[in-house]
Amino acid sequence: MADINTMHQKDMAKVTSKQKFVTVLVQVLLYFFLIMVAITVIFPFYWMINSSLKTLDEYRWSVPTLWPTTVMWSNYATAFSTASLGKLFVNTLYVGIISTILSLVITVLTAFAFARLEFKGKNALFAGLLATMMIPGELFTITNYGTVTSLGWLNTFTVLIVPFLVSVFYIYLLRQNFLQIPNELYLAAKVDGTSDIKYLWKIMIPLALPTLISITILKMMGAWNSYIWPRLVTRGETHSLITNGLRNAFTESTGDVNIPVQMAAVALVSLPLFLVFLFLRKYIMKGVSRSGIKG
């Protein structure tokens, strides 16, 4: 090991300055790249806001303006009142909350069974569930419409909630999460005579909380964005959800859509979602990454 010393004999000053330069350069490039991507990401949103503040005429100008010549804040007021967003908000919130709670219960039970209990055909059943994720869901609509009609569920909140309570994706996420909790905890609970439900409630659920929170958020977002199904199975404001209001309310007499007002409504509707997202981002990230995603 005689060459230990020679190997690193370099001009230290030169190395230092070069390395400083590289560090700064890398930082600059890093920020440049990230900021460029950020601009690309943010531009459509800017455009949405920009459009939402234009008059219909200005929106149609062949050369789009980067900021409205006359700023139409009134578009927002119009959007809110014409689409009766208030009522639709309440509907959406109601459907979102109820379906989230029920969905969580079902998902937790199912994921628990798949993660902790041993029964015949477990793996085959799970594989079957996963396979259903690969089928384009659009095809289900027709048949499901028939089913809910014969159940007499049209124009109820039930029809907006029940058919989508089970999500294979959420079951999958949660099962992965449960699998990472050591089985010894379950066995210990069994030895102590703890019931399954108590074990679930006291141990599994607290440990899987981030995943449950992300499921909650995804589910609420689902309620917020669902469109085709509510349109099909509900009539009028009493049971309509927010997106339906968005699409329907802004058609002019000629069948044209008043896009600026619609954009204003889109912005309004996205806002709560965005705030919730900002607020709970930490949990979403934890939840999704925690699922571990191992085979």
Determine the distance from the C-alpha atom of residue 158 to the mean position of all C-alpha atoms in its chain, rounded to a whole number. 22
Q: Is 184 in the site for another protein (CB under 8 A)?
A: no
- Integer Cα distance of 279 and 281 in angstroms: 6
* Segment lying near another protein (by CB under 8 A), choices 89-97, 177-185, 201-209, 232-240: 232-240
Q: Is 150 in the site for another protein (CB under 8 A)?
A: yes
Residues in binding contact with another protein, number by CB under 8 A: 122
- For another protein, which residue of 146, 180, 188, 201 counts as binding (CB under 8 A)? 146
Q: Is 182 in the site for another protein (CB under 8 A)?
A: no
Helices 259-290 & 74-82 angle (0-180, nearest 10): 80
Nearer to another protein, 12 or 192 (CB): 12
Q: How far is the CB of 148 from another protein (least distance, A)?
A: 9
Q: Residue 115 in contact with residue 294, Cβ under 8 Å?
A: no
Q: Is 238 in the site for another protein (CB under 8 A)?
A: no
- For another protein, which residue of 93, 97, 98, 129 counts as binding (CB under 8 A)? 129
- Integer Cα distance of 209 and 177 in angstroms: 10
- Integer Cα distance of 182 and 95 in angstroms: 35
Binders in 248-287 for another protein, by CB under 8 A: 248-256, 259, 262-263, 266, 270, 273-274, 277-278, 281, 284-286
Number of residues in the chain? 295
DSSP-H helix ranges across 83-195: 85-116, 122-132, 138-150, 158-161, 168-179, 183-191
Q: Is 207 in the site for another protein (CB under 8 A)?
A: no
CA-CA distances (angstroms) from residue 55 to 76, 168, 271? 12, 44, 22
Structure tokens at 125: 């059943």
Q: How far is the CB of 215 from another protein (least distance, A)?
A: 14
* Segment lying near another protein (by CB under 8 A), choices 88-96, 177-185, 201-209, 225-233: 225-233
